[in-house]
Amino acid sequence: MANFGAQTSFFYIFRERELVYDLFESATGTRMMHNYSYWRSIITRNPIFLERVEGVGIIRGEEAISWGLSGPMVPMFGIEWNLHKVDHYECYDGFDWEVQWKKEGDSLARYSLQIGKMAESIKIIQQALEGIPGGPFENLEIRYQFITKKHSPTFELTKQEFYARVKALKGELRIIFIGDQSRFP
């Protein structure tokens, strides 16, 4: 019985830990790996960090283009480019935000660009949250939780080609569908 009591008290600790994790998650957005924006001000002004990244690893725009760098790399070399703005991607035109780019091309520019992109992302998220209408909602996941098999739609592709590009983590993802009046592209 003594062992059972020790196990029970051990599980009480888990309950308390979960409450603390809930607080961390509210503040940082993650459950286990806690990062917080205090690091930004500590790193950005740190003389040791600046000495190690400023003027280091410089790549110019012409080099970036000739090497075929794309996606998140392009704005780091003085090229003001963002697929969201150029292709009027998804609903991004409905938000107030700026394309982030740097002209220095060094490691500090790459770091600063990513920090700027995060700040712009926060602006977009805040605007999106403000635009969510109030009122009742329905949790469709609960309604359909017992459906185990989803059927694929049956359709016929017309005889044509379709090209689209979307933003992906390492650059643009280009998609080409070629239809031949069958169900399979």
pLDDT for 55 equals 93
Question: What pLDDT tens digit does each residue of the chain (185 aa) get?
Answer: 555 555 666 677 778 888 888 877 776 666 666 555 577 778 888 899 999 999 999 988 788 888 887 766 778 777 777 888 888 888 899 999 998 888 888 899 888 888 898 899 899 999 999 998 887 776 666 665 555 555 555 667 778 888 888 877 677 788 888 888 877 77
pTM: 0.61
Q: pLDDT of 125-177, one tens digit each? A: 999 999 988 877 766 666 655 555 555 556 677 788 888 888 776 777 888 88
pLDDT for 167 equals 77
Q: What is the residue-wise DSSP string for 152-179?
A: PP-----S-EEEEEEEETTEEEEEEEE-
Coil, strand, or helix at residue 109?
Answer: helix
Per-residue b/e over 152-176, b at no fewer than 16 CB within 10 Å?
eeeeeeeeeeeeeeebeeebeeeee
**Residue 38 has which token pair?**
């205090």
**Residue 70 has which token pair?**
């794309």
Q: What are phi and psi of 137, to 5 degrees?
A: -140, 165
pLDDT for 185 equals 73
Tell me the one-letter amino acid at 59: I
pLDDT for 11 equals 72
Q: pLDDT of 149-163, one tens digit each? A: 555 556 677 788 888
pLDDT for 140 equals 64
pLDDT for 48 equals 92
pLDDT for 177 equals 82
Q: What is the residue-wise DSSP string for 2-25?
A: HHHHHHHHHHHHHHHHHHHHHHHH
Instruction: Give the start-to-end residue ranges of the domains of the chain.
Output: 1-35, 37-130
pLDDT for 123 equals 94
Separation in Å, CA 53 to CA 36, 41, 58, 75, 167: 22, 16, 10, 17, 28
Radius of gyration of the chain (CA): 24
pLDDT for 74 equals 77
Tell me the one-letter amino acid at 161: E
